[in-house]
Amino acid sequence: MTGLDRFLDSFFNLRVAVEYLPKIIDGFWLTILLAFCIILSGLAAGLALAVLRSLGIRPVNWLIIFVVDLFRALPPLVIIVLLYFGLPAAGLSISGFASAWLSLALVLMAFSEEIFWAGITAVPRGQWEAARSTGLTFAATLGHVVLPQAVRMVVPPLTNRTIAITKGTALASVVAVPEILGAAQAGVSFSFNPTPLTLGALAYVVLFFPVVILGRWIETRFAWKR
């Protein structure tokens, strides 16, 4: 066999590809489900914390800042491993899926809180004053005047951060979740051929390439007015 044949036989082996494609596709849907759960709960929790922080209750804010710092400083894989292997020691068993979901949602919560908060503080004081002077309550000012401006301002950084954290779904393979990477690795060890890994990488490209392009587009679309 020539080098090229060997290479093709290893990485683009059609027989192996056909055999393991269904597993990879199952993994693909599982990755999407996991990503969806993370994004929804992570962003919601981040926004909730940012709003809570805007109430200006000192001890609460310190706690929020600490939690945010904690989850910005810890590597996501460390959190996943800690939950998955650590919680059983406390008598709580947790599935791999749940530990990955919870971990990455916490990380996204931390990053998005920081970004939402930056957006809220970037809305000029005059906006608050104008809204309150017309008799709007604190909540109405926040909801109708401040947040719409803040959210628009933070769309680009938030999109990029969300994409980066969502790519962490691959980490779930470490705690035995058969998402794309997990399915691909299982395929490699059964077939002694790396083609499932090629498929897995392609699946990620299919999934995230459009998202990365979307992020690029959003970045120019919502560009900061200088």
Partner 1 sequence: MTFDDFLLAFFSLEIVGQAWPILWTGLQQTLLLSAIVVPLGVGGGMLLALLSTVRHRLVRWPLMVWVDFFRAVPPLVLLIFVYAGLPFAGLEVSAIGAVAIGFFLNTGAYYGEILRAGIESVPAGQMEAARSTGLTRWQTMRYVVLPQAVRNVLPDLISNTLEVVKLTSIASVVALPELLFQARQAQSVTYNATPIVAAAVVYFLLLWPVVRLLSRLENRQLAGRR
Q: Contact residues for partner 1 (CB under 8 A)? A: 3, 6-7, 10-11, 69-70, 72-79, 81-82, 85-86, 89-91, 114, 118-119, 121-122, 124, 164, 167-171, 173-174, 180-181, 184-185, 188, 193-194, 197-198, 200-201, 204-205, 207-209, 211-213, 216, 224, 226
In whole angstroms, the minimum distance from the beta carbon of 135 to partner 1 comes to 27
How crowded is residue 56: how many other Cβ atoms within 10 Å of its Cβ?
8
Q: Which lies closer to partner 1 via its Cβ, residue 137 or residue 210? A: 210
Nearer to partner 1, 90 or 139 (CB): 90
Backbone region of residue 136 per phi and psi (left: phi > 0; alpha: psi in -120 to 50; beta: other values): beta
CB 145 within 8 A of CB 131: yes
Nearer to partner 1, 69 or 137 (CB): 69
Question: Residue 107 in contact with residue 41, Cβ under 8 Å?
Answer: no
Task: Give the shortest CB-137-to-partner 1 separation in angstroms.
Answer: 26
- CA–CA distance, 90 with 226 (Å, rounded to integer): 52
Among residues 66 and 138, whose Cβ is nearest to partner 1? Answer: 66
Round to the nearest angstrom and report the end-to-end CA distance of the chain: 60
Min dist. Cβ of residue 64 to partner 1 (A): 12
Give every CB contact of residue 160 below 8 A, 6+ residues apart in sequence.
Answer: 215, 219
Q: Tell me the closest approach of the beta carbon of residue 81 to partner 1, in angstroms.
A: 6
